[in-house]
Structures are given as C-alpha cells and as structure tokens.
Structure 1
Amino acid sequence: MARGRPREEGIDDAVREAVRALLTESGYQRCTIDAVAARAGVGKAAVYRRWRSKAELVFAAVIHPVELEPPEDTGSLRGDVAAVLGVIQSSLDGPEVKSALPSLLADVRADPALEARFGEAFLGRERGYLVLMLERAVVRGELSRRPDPALVHSILLGPVLTWLHLFTEKPPSGGLAASLASPLHAAVVALGA
C-alpha cells in the first residue's frame, strides 16, 4: 500500500506555468517558491515535494525536466549531432531562459550542495543522453571509441549557449543548430578517433 498523499494531477503543469509567468513578469530574483505556490494555487509543500530548491524548479520549468526522452536516432552521427543541437537550442532559447539563466547559474555555483545535486539531476542526465547517441555511433562504426561524454557535452552546449546568451546577432540564416552541425560533428569524430 502506498504511503503519504497521492500526487494530484496537474500540479506539476500549474507550477511550471507559474514559474514561466513569474519569470516573464518580474525576473528570477522575485520568482520565489512562495510566489510560485501562490500563483499555481498550491501549497509550498507541494512544490518542495517535487523540487528541492528554486534553482532546480526554475531549470526544470524553463530548460528541461529531470527526465529526458532518449535522443533521436537519425541513422548517422552527423544527423544525431544536428538533432541534439536542435534540442539544446530549443531548451536554451526563449525569454524565460534569458531572464533566469545568469542568476540561476550564480545560485548553483554559490551553494556546493546545490551544485552537486544539480550536477547529478541535470548535467548527469544530459551526459547520459549523449552517451546513448555516442554508443550508437560506435555500433555503426562512425566512432572507433566512445569519447568522454563531458567533453562532448561542452562541445555541443558551449557554442549554442554562447550564441544565444552572449551574442546579440541573429542566428545564421540556415539556423543555428544546422550551421553548427558539421563543425561540431567533426569535433566529436576527432574525440572518438
């Protein structure tokens, strides 16, 4: 028999929507757990049962949830790299992310316990996602060995993050992910040689 209160349907969606609305209206600093709970019409305990901190809540609401769908298998490493770049770009693009990311990362870096949980919950799962893509490439013979997922993660994430959050130029006419796919594919192949 299950113990405790069952999770109510719709709370997760209401909380995520409240986070997005508060970030748009008042920014990261004023997007508190109290404000999110009030906006979503739930108690603070319901929020804390799902997310342990404001940083984890905001990341899960506007970038990606803890659980990730397996990466698309396009049939080639180059296609998979392009697809993953598209996922990264869509995760990091948008006004809520632009508003929250600098302060969210500062909060994570300032708290060693939060940084460790964040690394396990989000970065670890992102790297596990990439391991699936890399292992497929090894099986297909496109890589002789699986490169370090942390290096591949930084190679794919870095350029997208830099373009979307540091540059003011519009993305290349062919699209950012498509423009980065060939050079970053070559970098991943070099690491797996």
Structure 2
Amino acid sequence: MARPRDTRVDEAILTATRELLAEAGYAGLTMDAVAERARIGKAAIYRRHATKQEMVFSAAVHGADLPDPPDTGSLRGDLVALVREIVDHLTNPAAAAAIPGLMGDLSSSPELAARFQDILVTRQQLGIEHLLDRAVARGELRTAPDVSLVHALVSGPVFAVIYVQNRSPEGLPEQLGTVIHAALAASSQNA
C-alpha cells in the first residue's frame, strides 16, 4: 500500500517556488534551488512534478486539482465568476514572474506542450464543460458548445489583456463574461 503524500512537502515546494520566482524570476529558478529552499530532496519534487514548468505552473497559477468554476445560478454569472478566477490566477506576482517564460518553453517544446494539455488544460476544460452542462440543465443553452472553443474564448482575452496589451484587467470579468454569454446564447438560439 502506498504511503499518503505529505501535504506539508507539497506546500513547502509551492511556497519555495513562489518565493524564488519573486527573487530570481523564472529563468533563474532551478529545481535544486527549490529543493534547498523547501529543505527537501529533489526526488520529492519529481514525485509531484515531472518538470520545472509543471512545478512553476502549479505554484504560480493552479495545480491539477483545480475545482470546478462556481455555480452562481446563471450562465452569465458563472462566466463572470470564471473570468474573475482566471484574472486572479494570472495576476498574482508569481504568475506575472512565470507566465512569459512558461509560454516560451511551451512554444519551443511540443512534448512539454502536449503534457500541459493533458495535465492542466484538460482540467480547465473539464470545469468549463461542467459550467456549460449546468447552463444546458437550466435551459439557458439548447446544447453545450465546443468546450475547447469556449476555453479559448474565456482564457485568451484575459491573457491578451494582461500579457500582450499590458493593461489592467479591472472590469474585465463583467465585460468579458457578458460578451461571451451573449455569444453563447445567440449561438444556442441558432443551433
């Protein structure tokens, strides 16, 4: 029987990663430095995170155990809440230090990008699928739209506002949630 994972070690890894991102940035962060800061062996890190990029994403943005988006009782409310969560994930200091380097690594390694798709993006899309299924069950949508497209519609603009346009995301959850809601409702009526 496998021994249960020590959540104190999990938290020590994530805390050390966040601290080192703030101090040294993404390029300066190493698994050795995280192990030393967390006072653990590197093997403990590799049991939890196969790559530096997975460890950084888990510490800076979210882990693989991402909960479903909140159920506010309406599709529009759910979308606004989801966009707010994405904004919160992408604007914390650790994410700001990590995201540009992570994107560079993902774009230069098809294997790493595929692993991220399997482990993290799939979990994000599962949450969106549940959000859309709730809207169908409430009668707000006739059928659920393509989950990967809705994922792109929700996360792409947030990423663009924060990292490409370098603008404040203030008010973005309400604006983007409303626009996506209108598009999904119109598309559902035409289906």
Provide the residue aligned with 1:159 in structure 2. 157
2:158 aligned partner, one-letter code:
V
Shift of 1:6: 4.7
Specify the alignment match of 1:95 in structure 2.
Answer: 93
Normalising by structure 1, what TM-score? 0.92
1:41 aligns with 2:39: yes
Equivalent-residue separation in structure 2 for 1:117 and 1:191 (angstroms) = 32
1:67 partner SS: coil
**1:171: how far off?**
3.5
Name the % identity: 42
Q: Are 2:176 and 1:180 equivalent residues in the alignment? A: yes
C-alpha distance after superposition, 1:87-110 (max 9, x if no partner): 111111122212211111221222
Aligned equivalents of 1:35 and 1:8: distance in 2? Answer: 20
Deviation at 1:165, TM superposition (A): 1.2
Asked if structure 1 preserves the Cα contact closer than 8 Å seen for 2:158 and 2:169, the reply is: no
Q: Distance in 2 between matches of 1:63 and 1:74?
A: 23
Q: Take 1:97 and 1:73, find their aligned partners in 2: how far apart are those partners?
A: 25
1:52-95 deviation digits (Å, cap 9, x = unpaired)? 00000000111011011122111110011011111111111122
Which residue of the partner structure matches residue 79 of structure 1?
Answer: 77
For residues 20 and 152 of structure 1, what CA distance do their matches in structure 2 show?
A: 30
Aligned positions of 1:1-193 closer than 5 A:
2-3=1-2, 6-172=4-170, 175-193=171-189
Query: 2:152 & 2:77 partners in 1: Cα distance?
Result: 18
- Quote the Cα distance in structure 1 between the aligned partners of 2:143 and 2:124: 19
Distance 1:190 1:158 in 2: 20
SS in 1 for 2:121: helix
C-alpha RMSD of the superposition? 1.4
Q: How many equivalent residue pairs?
A: 189
Secondary structure class of the residue paired with 2:27: coil
Query: How far, CA to CA, are the matches of 1:188 and 1:19 in structure 2?
Result: 38
> Structure 2: which amino acid aligns with 1:184?
I
Over 3 Å counting, the alpha-carbon distance change for 1:23 and 1:136 in structure 2 is same
| 1:7 aligned counterpart, secondary structure | coil
More helix by share: 2
C-alpha separation in 2, matches of 1:131 and 1:98: 27
Distance 1:46 1:133 in 2: 35
SS in 2 for 1:10: helix
Measure, in 1, the Cα distance between the counterparts of 2:156 and 2:113: 19
Q: TM-score, normalization: structure 2?
A: 0.93
1:23-61, CA deviations, whole angstroms, 9 ceiling, x for partnerless residues? 111110111111111111100000000000000000011
Once structures 1 and 2 are overlaid, which stretch shifts more, 138-147 or 39-48? 138-147
Q: Which consecutive residues of structure 2, in runs of 5 or more, have no partner in the other structure?
A: none
What's the CA shift for 1:113? 2.0
